[in-house]
Chains A and B, each alone.
Chain A
Amino acid sequence: MVISTGRAAGTTRDGAAGNRGHRAGRRSLRQPGPLRRAWGRHWYAWAMTAPVLVVVGVLIGWPLLRGLYLSLTDATEANVGRTIGVNVIPATYEFVGLANYADILTSSLFWERLSWTVLWTVACVSLHYGIGLGLAMMLHRKLRFRSAYRVLLILPWAIPAFVAAFIWRYLFNTDYGVLNAMLEAAGFGSVGWLDDPTTAKLAVIAVNVWAGVPFMMVALLGGLQSIPADLYEAAEMDGATAWQRFRHVTVPGLRSVSSTVVLLGTIWTFNMFPMIFLITGGGPGNSTEILVTYAFREAFTGVRDYSGSAAWGAIILALLVVLATVYRRALRRQGEVW
């Protein structure tokens, strides 16, 4: 009965404070053991979160621990042991400590892939954000056909990523693709878009930007709509120029939306598997391979190198956790609560 009362108004971060309030407010009833009491008070909440905890715990927690363990061994497809019919082949892989990590971190391949992944992420996210913000600001004005523009601009988001990847692969096709047909019609020679490392990189970035802008645009449009119009009026009254209004009203007003979508976008782009896997397959050579697709390739092509791929995965995860922590710190220093 008392479960859902007494939360400090509208806060999401002070669970501890809320809890304290709870305890102070409820000393009246008889006092069974602390565990019983906690169960009686919180079983509803626990029961409602249980499905997620079970799913997340079993299907993420366990594989994660197992993956971390595998990354410390020399497991490959050949020695993990399996059951064929009635014959059980025991696992013969051994614990090798940090050897996999040492191998990866000292290989030039890793640093090449890492720098391309960083470039890919930075380019995609900044283009997503820049173009998304520009379009959102255009759509935020009063103009004719606004809803038509909006629906059409959101369309790429409605196309599943793998379908988008295939469409673009066809557009980029050297012999039959429409891009080359246009180039030829304009009098230029055709370009082997996906055959050259540089153009292939540009191509995958372009596709990912095409697919990712609508999300940013929608989120930022929502952010723009939540900025009160009086602020703009007041600024205009005080003689602020358009740039000053943008700089001192729009930018601060969008800060909380921006910080969320930029972080989400960064994580998603960093781990963007289907675009690269399906458009270039990492090629030509492995020039467009980002860390995630490379780790996948290790694990599931040729002799499956389970331990190596797990180590790659662990490194990727560590990079993202560091990134998110630093980002959060930086936001907090600016007085942002996230």
Chain B
Amino acid sequence: MKLTVQNHGEVTIATLEETRLDAALSVRFKEGMREVAESDVDNVVLDLSQVMFMDSSGLGAVVAVMKLMGREKMFQIAGLTPAVDKVFKLTRMDSVFKILDTAEDALNEAKQSAG
């Protein structure tokens, strides 16, 4: 499982560099994101733009990650491809997450609020 974590000032972008977030990957993905959640960061964006396929186990893992982040950290997801977006919409989980078009949007927002 390849998960790249980069800090951009106050925003941390975690990019899942996998094309499938399914049952075979979901546990490792959750563990990788647990490390991010337990580190000293306040604003985390999960970039899913490389994920072309996600099943309900993958969705469950993303929900679990949001819980790991807790109420204190800001957690957003970004870059949903059409197939991934559909899973969020069909399960109505799109109403639960803060969803950005791209991870860069979070950086621009942070700049604006700082400036």
Q: Do A and B actually bind?
A: no
